Structure 1
Amino acid sequence: MSQFPSLEAALKHFFGYDNFRHGQKAVITAALENRDVLALMPTGAGKSLCFQLPALLKPGLTVVISPLIALMQDQVDALTDNGIGATFLNSTLNLDQARSRIQAIFNGNIKLLYVAPERLFNEGFQQLLTDVDQTIGLTGFVVDEAHCVSEWGHDFRPEYRQLSRIRRRYPRTPCQAFTATATQRVREDIIDQLALQNPSFHCTSFNRPNLYYEVLPKDRKSYTQLLCYVRQRRGQPGIIYCSSRKKVDELADRLKQDGVKALPYHAGLADRLRADYQEQFIRDDVPVMVATVAFGMGINKPDVRFVVHYDLPTNLERYYQESGRAGRDGEPAHCTLFYRAGDIKRAEYFIELKEDEQEKRIAYQQLQKMIDYAEGIDCRRTIQLSYFGEQFPGDCGGCDNCQNPRPVEDWTIEAQKFLSCVARCRERYGMTYIIDVLRGSKKEKIIQNGHHQLSTYGIGLDHPKEAWKNLGRSLLHQGLVAETSDGYRVLKLNARSWEILRQQKTVKIAVERRQTAQEILGISESRLDAKILFGQLRQLRKQLADANWVAPYMIFSDATLRQMATRRPRTQADFCLISGVTSAKYQGYGEPFLAAIQEFCASQQPPKPQVNGTQLLTLQLYQQGLSVTEIAKRRSLTAGTINEHLATLLQNGEITDLDRLVKPAAQVEIEKAIATVGAESLAQLREHLQEKYSYDAIKLVRAKLLQTAKSA
């Protein structure tokens, strides 16, 4: 480095930057000292520069082991554009091209050579390395995407396991391993498999503060929601991940039919076509890429503004890396996961195809962490970062849970019960088992183990299973209890657990707030009806535009129409408060829109059903204490008909006690479903609830909500 007065001067000379990003200089310094290095740096932290700059400052050749051809080509192109000697050897080259590049290496024109891991064990390449080592010198090995070496990682590749053979062959040549994601177990595996000697370990924060994380419910209307999502970001680069090639093709076609410029990307497409589509995306010719997880690794596109996962990823590590392809330029970006419990079954199906039992256990454990993230009500960053062993205080302001925070309650007593049960079960079981003991389950395993005789057996019946699960997750996220990571999710007490049990520490957790009937029905209206009204207003705008020979946007913008659909002004004064509505616009076009909104609102308020004689007879029998089955038998009617009567009676306030008909825990779940997908379609509600509850139960809860909202 003698030709440069400082590392900063070298940075400026080769790459044009004035300053290093956080953590880069320490990694580069260790590499220049010829130490083995393990560096964990999230996407966008500049890890490539951490091995490129040392390679340029040291004599000889640095070999970079990279898993994807696209990754090699992209980095080599970027380096050569800067006038830096770099090349790759892979299967895309013909014999003459390969010979030319090898000659350039021996001429001293190449400082960085990129290769795939399998090439390292080719006899011809082994001889090339020997010749390089004996002539110009082999300066170092760099293993990029090093998590691929570990079966505990999200992208295990068996060929990476062989890299230790290279270390044994060149024991004095330092090795640097880089990855954007790795748990503690994966880190240990990388060090072991790559035979890193006393490595200099560097870990920058996994937090990506410019990314906004959210989870949205996935149901029949998810495509409409996705379409609105993409249209709101019209022209912005984005990636939509799907779990299968078929889904990728179907979704890309559907988006194109709806006017979105989108392309598919998966391994089933011809290589040339994939390369063409990728190039169109990088050049901003096409903003949206619908892809399987094969797309994105190593793609140098820093301005991706959104990443959507339309299907549930199999583990949190993979989700972190794939969502992290958004906002690599440091500007704000969105990361959205569409989630439904039914996606879990698909993931479990593929796990069951694994033959190795250890791999199955690992995969199930990783899947559960992903489910915890999708269903969690704590700060999404807290959940993510705790997975990587990083403590985060929460309240990030950059996720859906923090922007719409749940109430925080003191659950110290419940935490003591939970942890006491873990202790009394001798720290041998997972969360589900502990909750079953707390709630007095009569499962055979609990009886066989004698845990029905524990003092903690049945002391948790005051809360539903989901509430205990929320507590358990929160304790894990806050580091107040530990969990084994060997494929068996066994809870273990730690020092902080004992502080709680000794009453030295309190526990506060975010809890679900039960919404009022008005809020539930209001959310239903704003989320679903607004989309219908928005569509109607767009149609009206098109008609007026055609009649007046103007472009639709010149009448009112989409943003203005969305405000109309959400706020639904009923008067001229309210209408003119909408952003984008001027007095001139109102004079020209306002009245037809106002009339359309008024008509829509009137249609959304059906008259309350009237109680008739047969329903009153059902009411009399119900008030005598008869069950639905008994009333149906007495009246020679079906139970479904009796429940229809009871729903009408509930909606009219003739019956007020719903608990007798539907269990309180079921009411809570059905209310949540109504808040999410709306009260209009019983079929959609039942699908969203995974057919857990009958149509009758859903009708009864809906009727009670309508009555409560009206009387409030």
Structure 2
Amino acid sequence: MPDRNDKLTVALKKHFGFDKFKGNQEAIIQNLLDEKDTFVLMPTGGGKSLCYQLPALLMGGTAVIISPLIALMKNQVDAMRNFSEEDGVAHFINSSLNKAAIEQVKGDILSGKTKLLYVAPESLTKEENIDFLRQIKISFYAIDEAHCISEWGHDFRPEYRRIRPIVTEIGKHPIIALTATATPKVQLDIQKNLGMVEADVFKASFNRENLFYEVRSKTNNVDKDIIKYIKSQGHKSGIIYCLSRKKVEEFAEILQTNNINALPYHAGLDANTRSANQDAFLMEQVDVIVATIAFGMGIDKPDVRYVIHYDMPKSLEGYYQETGRAGRDGGEGKCIAFYSFKDLQKLEKFMQGKPVAEQEIGKQLLLETAAYAETALCRKKVLLHYFGEEYKVRNCGNCDNCVNPKKQVEAKDLLLTALEAVVALKEKFKTDYVINILRGKETSEIETYEHQDLEVFGSGDDADEDTWNAVIRQAIIAGYFDKDIENYGLLKITKKGKDFLKKPVSFKITTADEEDLEDDDNIDDVVVKGGGGGSAVDPVLFSIMKDLRKKMAKNNNVPPYVIFQDPSLEAMATIYPITMEELQNIPGVGAGKAKRYGAEFLQIIKKHVEENEIERPEDLRVRTVANKSKLKVAIVQAIDRKVALDDLAESKGIDFAELLNEVEAIVYSGTKINIDYFLHEVIDEDHLDDIFQYFQEAESDDLEEAINELGEYSEDEIRLVRIKFISDMAN
């Protein structure tokens, strides 16, 4: 008799088309099937939804999923219906439904068809809904986006605080709470509020290996930088986050003026426009959404290739959640934030007038954001530390600080001078005033207080304003200064600062490169490492299938990825399934999906195979493809088998330079290859390191520039190491 785990894997394959669970999904699902309260911390893209979708299908009764956004509910319901042959399997009840639609939903639930019912917390409080839910058999409650419960969470929703008393009133059943971001403090707050302190906690690693994190100085050219970046990405999907609705609309208009297919999204738009703009993005009718943080919570679009923050968010949790919307399919995801400390100061000013406790929370969250933006450490290390996780890798190779380490300078004497100035001013002035004193700037305010006569006046005139701002800002982050919350912004010296005055220790600050501050056209020079989207062996077939998917999506009025996700299409363009049985062996293709959509895909794959005389040996890792690509495929296969490159060129009847042209084309198109076995045979280790380091530090990969700069090495050596560099760092 098969054990429970085998049964779960069979059910996973049957309903969702996957052969195995990700991370700790299986343990979470089993815990819920055992009717135990369950708390799940799992990053975006980790497969949170499956943790309640599969148990809902397997358990008797209906699971009640409490979810914060109407758009998210519709998205999830569409996805569930596409996994199943029965449309009634999932429903939602919210304010967008009329009375007749609600009666239809209730009819399906009472008939036993519905396994998942999505409700907003506001709908849950309505007396008629409470009465109805008391009549039905409930399998469990799932609280999605559970961080909305916590005042320390980044999307605090007061109505989430009322969930516990309401579910108690409806009837006691197991609870699963799920969130993609929660610090230990937020986690405890959620558990206390839901009365599930004793719940079993499942915490996945918050490390998203495929995401590249980068923070850029925000200059006057930020609009140009973003436009240039978007245009370099072709028609890939991207999200731009702005903090204000006004900026969202303005910037969406700027993008449109620059021939970029973009739409705005924020809570101030009427519901129809908002819904239409979101659907246009999901259906791939537009490439870019410019949005406030209202957009994207739980939106299951797997192929967002970049998330850009026009403004730094108010908290690191918000930042992590928003960047997590990139690369959910495990493919390429670039996260770029534009940072200006002045932006955070503005946010701090907006908090004035709020209760002191709320200001204190907000101020702490902003400080953590500033610390992340200004750090010279690996960004992944800083982010994961924030979520209570230790990241032991020294260099992630996937953030700007690891790829291009920041310069740090010793600033012990500068900090000492700043502390002495604050002491002389009796801790009664703000940063700007302190900097004017240090630089010896005679303002009318300084003359009023007669502070030009103080000994510290002009004591720091050898450093400019930007340096002093960096010293004080990073000293606040390091805990030497504090800002008085009651008297907004007055600089105070902490105990750590007083200790430093008695016994100074090393204090290093990060300084922005002048090139970063002045900015020019070199905005795309950072080399990105990470999974690349679209790594199908047969790009022609992949493209044909994407067109078919788009057409079917339009006819079925669902987003393209609901039909088949990119990794499934990539596998089809590699394995060439031509029967229903073969199609169901493709990752992400279950029986329901194969039956619903498979026939047309099998038809075009079969036609493509016949027209191009493609061999389909099941054991070949890399398939032969259309004639144009045969040489490239043969080269990749030979390199996989570690054939010496000079032998390979000879066997193909081409000279070595021609072979290098082909290999360069392969790596520049995004395919990762490993020629280390050959490099170690033909290039001295020190020479290899020299050339590799040159490309790490160079502003471009131009071959002529490299040959001029690296005169002692041959062109072939430089080209070979450049191939390794691009493959290692960019693919």
Tell me, yes or no, whether TM beats 0.5. Answer: yes
Please tell me whether residue 219 in structure 1 is matched to residue 219 in structure 2.
Answer: yes
Secondary structure at 2:423 match in 1: coil
Instruction: Tell me: CA distance 1:139–1:231, structure 2 relative to 1, closer, same or farther (3 Å).
Output: same
1:633-690 superposed Cα distances (whole Å, 9 cap, x missing partner) = xxxxxxxxxxxxxxxxxxxxxxxxxxxxxxxxxxxxxxxxxxxxxxxxxxxxxxxxxx
Residue 395 of structure 2 corresponds to residue 391 of structure 1: no
2: CA distance, partners of 1:305 / 1:520: 24
SS of alignment partner, residue 336 of structure 1: strand
| 2:125 paired with 1:117 | no
Q: Any residues of structure 2 matched to 1:242-321 within 5 Å, and which?
A: 242-321=242-321
Q: Which residue of 2 aligns with 1:610?
A: none
- Secondary structure (helix, strand or coil) at the match of 1:352 reads coil
**Alignment partner of 1:87 is 2:91:** yes
1:24 aligns with 2:37: no
Match of 2:182?
Answer: 182
Q: Is the 8 A contact 1:4 1:10 kept in 2?
A: no
Of residues 113, 126, 130, the one that matches 1:126 is 130
The CA deviation string for residues 382-407 of structure 1, in whole angstroms up to 9 with x for no partner, is 22122211122342111111111136
Name the residue aligned to 2:15.
14
**1:99 corresponding residue in structure 2:** 103
CA distance in 2, matches of 1:259, 1:321: 29
| Secondary structure in structure 1 of the residue aligned to 2:246 | helix
Per-residue CA distance 1:69-94 (angstroms, 9 max, x = gap):
11111111111112161111111111
The one-letter code of the counterpart of 1:376 is T
CA distance in 2, matches of 1:25, 1:115: 25
Q: Distance in 2 between matches of 1:112 and 1:567?
A: 53
- Matching residue within 402, 405, 426 for 1:444: 426
Question: Any idea what SS the aligned residue of 1:441 has?
Answer: helix
Q: Mark the CA change 1:92 to 1:242 in structure 2 (over 3 Å): closer, same or farther.
A: same
Matched position secondary structure for 1:214: strand
> Is the contact between residue 474 and residue 509 of structure 1 (CA under 8 Å) also seen in structure 2?
no
For the residue of structure 2 that corresponds to 1:327, the secondary structure is coil
Answer yes or no: is the 8 Å Cα contact 1:305–1:327 preserved in 2: yes
Residues 2/114 of structure 1: CA separation in 2 closer, same or farther (3 Å cut): farther
The one-letter amino acid paired with 2:32 is A
Q: Is the 8 A contact 1:63 1:114 kept in 2?
A: yes
How far the C-alpha of 1:438 sits from its partner, in A, is 7.5
Contact 1:61 1:140 survives alignment (8 Å): yes
Q: For 1:351, give the aligned amino acid.
A: M
**Deviations 1:533-562 (CA, angstroms, capped at 9, x unpaired):** xxxxxxxxxxxxxxxxxxxxxxxxxx9xxx
Could you tell me how far apart the structure 2 residues matched to 1:140 and 1:490 are? 51
The answer to whether structure 1 residue 364 and structure 2 residue 373 are counterparts is no
Give the match for residue 482 of structure 1: none
Alpha carbons 1:372, 1:473 under 8 Å: kept: no
* Partner in structure 2 of residue 708 of structure 1: none
Maintained 8 Å contact 2:229/2:524: no
The question of whether the paired residues in 1 share the 8 Å contact of 2:370 and 2:477 is answered with no
Does structure 2 retain, via aligned residues, the 8 Å contact 1:61–1:139? Answer: yes
**1:234 alignment partner, SS class:** coil
Q: Give, in whole Å, the separation in 1 of the partners of 2:267 and 2:338.
A: 23
Q: How many residues align?
A: 494
2: CA distance, partners of 1:338 / 1:161? 34
Contact 1:146 1:179 in 2 (8 A): yes
Decide whether the 8 Å contact of 2:262 with 2:288 is kept in 1: yes
% same residue: 40
Change beyond 3 A, Cα 1:90–1:507 = same
Deviation at 1:261, TM superposition (A): 1.1
CA drift at 1:445 = 4.5
Q: TM-score, normalised by structure 2?
A: 0.60
Deviation, structure 1 residue 442: 2.2
Q: Aligned partner of 2:312: which letter?
A: L
Distance in 1 between residues matched to 2:340 and 2:360, nearest whole Å:
22
Counterparts of 1:115 and 1:492, CA distance in 2: 48
Code of the aligned partner of 1:82:
F
The Cα shift of 1:344 comes to: 1.9
Kept after mapping to 2: 8 A contact 1:280/1:286: yes
For residues 370 and 105 of structure 1, what CA distance do their matches in structure 2 show?
45
Deviation (angstroms), 1:4: 8.7
Gap change, CA 1:296 and 1:520, over 3 Å in 2? closer
Quote how far apart the aligned CAs of 1:161 are: 0.5
- Contact 1:55 1:112 survives alignment (8 Å): yes
Secondary structure of 1:192's counterpart equals helix
Look up the equivalent residue of 2:296 and give its one-letter code: G
Q: Which residue of 1 aligns with 2:43?
A: 42
Question: Does residue 323 of structure 2 align to residue 323 of structure 1?
Answer: yes
Give per-residue Cα distances to partners, 1:110-161, cap 9 Å, x unaligned.
Answer: 11110000111211111112111xxxx2211110000011111111111001
What is the Cα deviation at residue 472 of structure 1?
6.3
What is the aligned partner in structure 2 of residue 648 from structure 1? none
Instruction: Say if 2:44 and 2:321, in contact at 8 Å, map to a contact too.
Output: yes
Q: Contact conserved, 2:219 with 2:519, CA < 8 A, in 1?
A: no
Give the aligned CA root-mean-square deviation in angstroms.
4.4
Deviates more, 1:291-300 or 1:1-10: 1-10
CA distance in 1, matches of 2:523, 2:5: 62
Q: 1:34 is matched by which residue type in structure 2?
A: E
Measure how far apart 1:181 and its partner are.
0.5
In structure 1, distance between residues paired with 2:56 and 2:12 = 12
In 2, the alpha carbon distance for the partners of 1:272 and 1:47 equals 29
- Please report how far the alpha carbon of residue 183 of structure 1 lies from its aligned counterpart in structure 2 after TM superposition: 1.1
Counterpart position of 1:381: 380
Aligned pairs for 1:197-596 (under 5 A) are 198-354=198-354, 356-393=355-392, 394-406=394-406, 437=419, 441-445=423-427, 512=511, 527=522
Query: Cα 1:80–1:249, aligned 2, differ >3 Å: closer, same or farther?
Result: same
The one-letter amino acid of 2:128's match is: G
Other structure's SS at 1:385 match? helix
Match of 2:537 in 1: none
Which residue identity lines up with residue 169 of structure 1 in the other structure? E
- Structure 2 letter corresponding to 1:373: Y
Given that residues 225 and 523 in structure 2 are in contact (C-alpha distance below 8 angstroms), is that contact kept between their aligned partners in structure 1?
no
Inter-CA distance 337–435: structure 2 relative to 1 (3 Å threshold) = farther
Q: Quote the offset at 1:468 in angstroms.
A: 6.5
Contact map agreement 1:216 1:337 (CA 8 A) in 2: yes
Give 1:443 shift: 3.6
- Residue type of the alignment partner of 1:319: Y
- Report what 1:698 is aligned to: none
Structure 1 residue runs without a partner (length 5+): 419-433, 448-457, 477-487, 499-505, 531-558, 578-712
1:684-703 equivalence runs, <5 A: none
Amino acid aligned to 1:381:
K
**Cα offset, 1:47, TM superposition:** 0.3
Counterpart Cα distance in 2 of 1:8 and 1:191: 30
Task: Classify 1:12/1:165 alpha carbon distance in 2 versus 1 (closer, same or farther; 3 Å).
Answer: same
CA distance in 1, matches of 2:30, 2:523: 56
In structure 2, stretches of 5+ residues that fail to align are 430-455, 480-488, 500-504, 526-667, 669-694, 709-731
Alpha-carbon distance between aligned partners in 2 of 1:329 and 1:319, rounded to the nearest angstrom:
19
2:260 aligns to what SS in structure 1? coil
The question of whether the paired residues in 1 share the 8 Å contact of 2:422 and 2:492 is answered with no
CA contact 2:242–2:311 (8 Å) conserved in 1: yes
Assess if the C-alpha contact under 8 Å between 1:263 and 1:289 holds in 2.
yes
Moved more, 263-272 or 9-18: 263-272
Alpha-carbon distance in structure 2 between the residues aligned to 1:445 and 1:370? 25
Q: Partners in 2 of 1:435 and 1:236 — Cα distance? A: 50
Matched residue of 1:305: which SS? strand
